[in-house]
Structure 1
Amino acid sequence: MMGFAHKLGAVLTGTVLAFPGGTVLPGGGAAAQPKIAWAPCAANRAVECGELRVPVDWGRPGGARFGLAVARLKAAEPGRRIGVLVVNVGGGPGTDFVQGEASTYFSKEILARFDIVGLDPRGVGGSSPVRCSADIVRREPLPTPRDQADFDRLRAYAAELAADCRRRTGPVADHLDAVSVARDLDAVRAALGERTISYHGVSAGTLPGQHYAELFGRNLRAMSLDSVLDHSLPTGRFLVSQAANAEDAFLAFARWCARDRACALHGRDVPRIWDGLMARADRGTLRDPALAGRVLSAYDLATEAHLGGLMGPDHSWLAERIASLESGRPGPRGIVRGQPGPEVREIEHPAPAACQDWRLTIPDHRRFAAHAAKMRQVAPHMRTQPDTQAFALTCALWPVKPRNPQHRLKVPAGTPPILLVNARHDPAAGHAWAVGVRRQLGRGAALVTYEGAGHGAYQRTACTRRAVDDYLLHLHVPTEGRLTCGR
């Protein structure tokens, strides 16, 4: 976790609140918009770090506050500066990204002309992080209930974890939804003194971006969304579409093996070999050649394929791993579900935030089994998308009403065209999701398709980088003939 050399709370009085579009005092009077007090970051002194006090509950702006961690990499060529580009790549602290990967993730021209700004979303990193008992997390059951008794154990576990996280984290645990994150983002915009901002969101970072467009579309200069989440899907369609995404990515992997001699399974029937491994896993006889004593379940196997091969552009590891599992000969180490070590007392956990954005209905094992059967119909090889199955069960059983349940996007008039970019074969954010979001955004939105596999498309090819850069730098929205990028 990043430490700050200077806290904004030590400079501002305790009566000033950051508010999108202006600042108010609890007594009702107007005040000057608070600024972020910047200082060199401890981990990278070329980047500035700061903190902005924002309401825990945006519905009660005069209530309790917490510190929102922010980092800024200033434009390398101030004389050519366009403005601020806020980045949310999903899955972790934005301040860490700005201090590290941002300088190689973006092109030199983007870095020259934008201040790159990242924030730790509320509940993450330096922004009042969620805290949960590591001991409880170590006891987490697998999300593969075989009967109602297993299902009830999962429900009891979710209730225990939720109560513990809420107790350790405090009131902010009740206000971690993506709409609150979008409101935080506009408070940052106002504190920076910017009339408009540009935004680049990836994966989970596309959701607060979509809500920002709904709430503050007129405060946007540009918005690019990479590997897009569709927040309009009910439980059944969400689960089935994700299983279909995983199956599509697996079949793309099999086609790569068929055409590329670099694949360790080249010239062989990859789906048949895989199905054989799944059958052995069902029987409890699939042993890991790289880890003595480990027996893989079908869920373990699907998880390895998803995280170890299908999410990235390089499928070589997955092919070698499958070949090793089939033959029993030594090969690459597998992917084992990580657990906090015995010395760890508390950890951040994603469920309290993620489950506030999704209303997923799985009341009992009977309904879960029905969903599982439909997933298997569309994904006969992969059977499920393992991350989604775990997420859906956790949030369906999470004993807190979601603050931001699914809905179709409604962006206001005056919102600029939004650019979407997505891989054709993405196991975590399928291409069909991007198509659905583009339709919801309506006229003006554009979708650039990378005709390849993996999660995250911007860095895949010169074509995808050029499409996003040209849009962010010059507001050029791709038209017909420029909407696809080859592998």
Structure 2
Amino acid sequence: MRRTAVPLIALLALLGPTVPAVAQAAAPAGSIVWGPCDPADEAPERVVCAELQVPVDWRKPAGPTVTLALAKLPATDQARRLGPLLINPGGPGGSGVSFAYTAAEAFSTAITDRFDIIGFDPRGQARSNVVQCDSDAIVAQAALLHPEDRTEYAALRETNKALAKTCEEFTGPLVKYADTASVARDMDAIRAGLGEQRISYYGVSYGTMIGQQYAELFPGRIRAMTLDSNMDHAQGIADYQKWESLAMEDSFRQFDAWCARTEGCALRERGALAYFDELYARAEAGELIVDGHSFIPEALPSLVFGYLYDPAAWFQLADDLIYIGSGAPAQRGRGEPRPNGYLPVMCSDFHFDVGTFSALRAVKKAQNRLAPHTRFNPLAWSDLASCQNWPYGVTNPPHRLRASAKLPPILIANSRYDVATPYQWGTSLASQLPSSTFLTYEGVGHGTYWLSPCAQAAIDTYLVERRTPAKGAHCPAVFPDSPAAAMAASGPVNPLPQLIGPFRR
């Protein structure tokens, strides 16, 4: 049985006095019809699925539509059900449907007992008309992300433009309307289709951007909202790169300190930081050979980046650095062509185009000074380099959030050392949301809910009881002391590595 697609009716949404009105369609109340999920997905027991049509361009609610995929894990204790908890795992590109499939393992019973957990794939992602681009253009862009001169920079700009045009060719006009404000409006159409006056929301990583913009557009429609590991839409180019580079450097320094005091770390005697510096110097000299080819210096921070999401992977990180240094063949196939929905979002949400090669080089040099060991943050640099000369406009310009007095208490959580969403972004966001309480996890990693039992308990309590922690609350750092302990960690299972991969938020 296919999921049921629900057409929309046109009406004008009341967005509040500080946000420009947008002609908007909403689903008829309670019109979402749940049924069996796609058999190919092998969805877990009790999970049901649906579809919902929303306008490609919310300014033209009667125009072309995109179909959103939804999945629901119903509350175990229906008698004490608190309503829907919409969830998003980040990205852009992470699948909310797949997140809902894993919800029984990813969230505590405090959450799964009381909420209908609802995941949706944002427009242009996963099952919701995923953006497709030419695979050769994707490969060509990846080879040019670190231009050394004006000629290479010009080639990057032309390649970015050509890549974007292939995305439009294969996907259609949705490429121009993948911005986060449109996703937030989609989420309110889901709320209406559920027949709910208010929703609760948990968003992690890029999912916090969706929550932030929903809070700005629809402040009176929120029951509770947790924003975990936060992006900050107010960031300009310089601060975006600065905080990301420092987050990369500081997180790697935490890995070095952990390795020095941890018996099972393979680099304990040699020193992780010193060894990494040796590898970088060998790569700069063209002497780091892997699989018969020179390993370029920029590939080393990229190798490290994904491991800094969760200290549970640090034993493997030490092993892999030794493996690279030994010159052994790296198992790095190119694989099949894949969707490319990330860039249409980032290039629509931020002003990243610096214009000239000199300006781009100045940004790179500033990063290198801030991060003398890791040099730069691979994810932030890819965002910047990939959006040069993107041919479609910034439809959702960066700005400080316009917080309404209608907003309920909101819980913001961030790790002190987060390589993907820096701590400073979380504190900046908290300053923009007067109704928020900020919870600091003093450890390393991305997604505090799965890194810290203390943070998890605070988030559970808030979502269920709408009771925030005390102002200035902190949770202690947690580090693995052996590979076995890292593998045997109990509690909810972190789904982010599978849902978003190492180079997404």
**AA aligned opposite 2:353:** T
Counterpart of 1:403 (choices 395, 399, 404) is: 395
**AA aligned opposite 2:121:** D
Counterpart of 1:471 (choices 462, 479, 493) is: 462
**AA aligned opposite 1:425:** Y
Secondary structure, aligned partner of 1:50: strand
**AA aligned opposite 2:334:** Q
- Is the contact between residue 243 and residue 375 of structure 1 (CA under 8 Å) also seen in structure 2? yes
Counterpart of 2:222 (choices 220, 223, 232) is: 220
Change (3 A) 1:29 1:286: closer
What residue is the counterpart of 1:25 in the other structure?
Answer: none
Change (3 A) 1:18 1:468: farther
> Residues 245-293 of structure 1: CA distance to partner in whole angstroms, max 9, x if unpaired?
10010111111012111211114333222111111111111123xxx21
> 1:401 deviation in Å?
1.1
Once residues 356 and 30 of structure 1 are traced to their aligned partners in structure 2, the CA distance between those partners, rounded to angstroms, is 23
Q: How many residues align?
A: 462
| 1:447 equivalent in alignment to 2:424 | no
Change (3 A) 1:31 1:5: closer
What residue is the counterpart of 2:409 in the other structure?
Answer: 417
Counterpart of 2:277 (choices 259, 275, 278) is: 275
**AA aligned opposite 1:16:** I
Secondary structure, aligned partner of 1:53: strand
Change (3 A) 1:353 1:30: closer
Counterpart of 1:16 (choices 9, 28, 36) is: 9
The runs of 5 or more residues in structure 2 that have no matched partner are 16-23, 479-505
Change (3 A) 1:221 1:316: same
Secondary structure, aligned partner of 1:459: helix
1:45-124 map, 5 Å: 46-91=46-91, 92-99=94-101, 101-124=102-125
1:258-297 map, 5 Å: 258-288=260-290, 292-297=291-296
Moved more, 199-208 or 360-369: 360-369
> Residues 214-265 of structure 1: CA distance to partner in whole angstroms, max 9, x if unpaired?
0111100111011100111111111111111100101111110121112111
Once residues 266 and 144 of structure 2 are traced to their aligned partners in structure 1, the CA distance between those partners, rounded to angstroms, is 31
Once residues 107 and 204 of structure 2 are traced to their aligned partners in structure 1, the CA distance between those partners, rounded to angstroms, is 13
Give the ranges of 4+ consecutive aligned residues of structure 1 lying more than 4 Å apart after TM superposition. 17-22, 28-32, 333-336
> Residues 275-334 of structure 1: CA distance to partner in whole angstroms, max 9, x if unpaired?
11111111111123xxx2132111111100112x212222111212223344x275xx75
What residue is the counterpart of 1:298 in the other structure?
Answer: 297
- Is the contact between residue 417 and residue 477 of structure 1 (CA under 8 Å) also seen in structure 2? yes
**AA aligned opposite 1:306:** F
Change (3 A) 1:221 1:30: closer
- Is the contact between residue 21 and residue 187 of structure 1 (CA under 8 Å) also seen in structure 2? no
- Is the contact between residue 47 and residue 73 of structure 2 (CA under 8 Å) also seen in structure 1? yes
Once residues 299 and 367 of structure 1 are traced to their aligned partners in structure 2, the CA distance between those partners, rounded to angstroms, is 19
> 1:33 deviation in Å?
3.5
**Identity rate of aligned residues, in percent?**
36
Once residues 158 and 244 of structure 2 are traced to their aligned partners in structure 1, the CA distance between those partners, rounded to angstroms, is 26
What residue is the counterpart of 1:339 in the other structure?
Answer: 334
Once residues 381 and 156 of structure 2 are traced to their aligned partners in structure 1, the CA distance between those partners, rounded to angstroms, is 13
Once residues 120 and 227 of structure 2 are traced to their aligned partners in structure 1, the CA distance between those partners, rounded to angstroms, is 17
> 1:31 deviation in Å?
9.6
**AA aligned opposite 1:464:** A
The runs of 5 or more residues in structure 1 that have no matched partner are 23-27
Counterpart of 2:3 (choices 2, 6, 20) is: 6
What residue is the counterpart of 2:33 in the other structure?
Answer: 37
Moved more, 227-236 or 346-355: 346-355
Once residues 74 and 31 of structure 1 are traced to their aligned partners in structure 2, the CA distance between those partners, rounded to angstroms, is 21
Secondary structure, aligned partner of 1:132: coil
What residue is the counterpart of 2:496 in the other structure?
Answer: none
| 1:458 equivalent in alignment to 2:449 | yes
| 1:435 equivalent in alignment to 2:427 | yes
Once residues 25 and 148 of structure 2 are traced to their aligned partners in structure 1, the CA distance between those partners, rounded to angstroms, is 59
RMSD: 2.3
Change (3 A) 1:348 1:340: farther
Counterpart of 2:181 (choices 165, 172, 179) is: 179
> 1:132 deviation in Å?
1.1
- Is the contact between residue 233 and residue 398 of structure 2 (CA under 8 Å) also seen in structure 1? yes
Change (3 A) 1:62 1:318: same
> 1:481 deviation in Å?
6.6
- Is the contact between residue 20 and residue 187 of structure 1 (CA under 8 Å) also seen in structure 2? no
**AA aligned opposite 1:446:** T
What residue is the counterpart of 1:320 in the other structure?
Answer: 319
> 1:20 deviation in Å?
5.5
> 1:112 deviation in Å?
0.7
Once residues 320 and 27 of structure 2 are traced to their aligned partners in structure 1, the CA distance between those partners, rounded to angstroms, is 61
Secondary structure, aligned partner of 1:236: helix
What residue is the counterpart of 1:195 in the other structure?
Answer: 197
Once residues 388 and 256 of structure 2 are traced to their aligned partners in structure 1, the CA distance between those partners, rounded to angstroms, is 33
> 1:30 deviation in Å?
11
- Is the contact between residue 427 and residue 454 of structure 1 (CA under 8 Å) also seen in structure 2? yes
1:336-375 map, 5 Å: 336=332, 339-341=334-336, 344=337, 347-375=339-367
Once residues 74 and 400 of structure 1 are traced to their aligned partners in structure 2, the CA distance between those partners, rounded to angstroms, is 40
- Is the contact between residue 3 and residue 37 of structure 2 (CA under 8 Å) also seen in structure 1? no
Change (3 A) 1:166 1:30: closer
**AA aligned opposite 1:411:** A
- Is the contact between residue 246 and residue 385 of structure 1 (CA under 8 Å) also seen in structure 2? yes
- Is the contact between residue 21 and residue 190 of structure 1 (CA under 8 Å) also seen in structure 2? no
